[in-house]
Amino acid sequence: MNVDYVDHYRVLGLASGEEGAKLTGREISRAYKAKALEVHPDKRPEDPNADAKFRTLKSSYETLMDPASRKKFDDFLRQVTPRKNMEARKASFRATDAKRRKARDHKEKQDARDRKEKQERPRKRYCIRYTKILEVSWQGKDYREEELREFFSRFGVVEDIWMRKSCRSANVTMDAEDPDAAAAAGRSLSAPILVREYSLSSSF
């Protein structure tokens, strides 16, 4: 249950509650004069609510300067403050709970994304890598060693290239996870590169 009321102490810029109840009449008058100079309509001609603010200020001042009205208001504050504090605590709890739910939802979504990414991640890191010797040959272009190294580096770590320029061929020693992929890519080049895994029966 929300309790809406005008806190006359706050209107004058003073401490409320038990601290406000201890203020003297002189302190209240001094605060009123300072606040009146600040919010007087003549000081704020551009503010359409200046008159209403000043009337509220004057009404709060008159309430606090009247002993009976002030006592009644102080008693009201003593009753309403615990309820207001409880509502504030409830609102704080709701906000904290909402933050926790949001953080939990975010973590669950992140965990789901991580699991999906892990499932869809290529199995490259689980592949056993072996050093392979690939027999390479080509026609129509004189490939340089640097070009071959750049091409085959897309498919693994190139350890060595032995060029046989006289017959446009080479042996490429590398850690190849998928030699077939290198062979397929080589065939698609404008000057095709033929790739075969080395074996005792292989020869150019």
Comparing 177 with 183, the larger pLDDT belongs to 183
Residue type, 106: H
* Candidate from 78-87, 89-98, 118-127, 144-153 with smallest mean pLDDT: 118-127
pLDDT the model gives residue 113: 83
β-bridge mates for residue 171, sequence order: 135, 162
Q: How confident is the model over 100-153, as pLDDT tens digits?
A: 888 888 888 888 888 877 776 655 454 445 678 889 898 878 888 999 999 998
CB atoms within 10 A of CB 28: 20
3-state secondary structure of 137: strand
C-alpha dihedral, 139 to 140 to 146 to 148, nearest 10°: -40
Confidence tier at 86 by pLDDT (50, 70, 90): low
Report whether 161 contacts 135 (CB < 8 A): no
* Candidate from 3-7, 8-12, 104-108 with smallest mean pLDDT: 3-7
Q: What is the mean pLDDT of the chain?
A: 83
Structural domains in the chain?
8-94 (1.10.287.110), 126-197 (3.30.70.330)
* H or E stretch at 197: strand 193-197
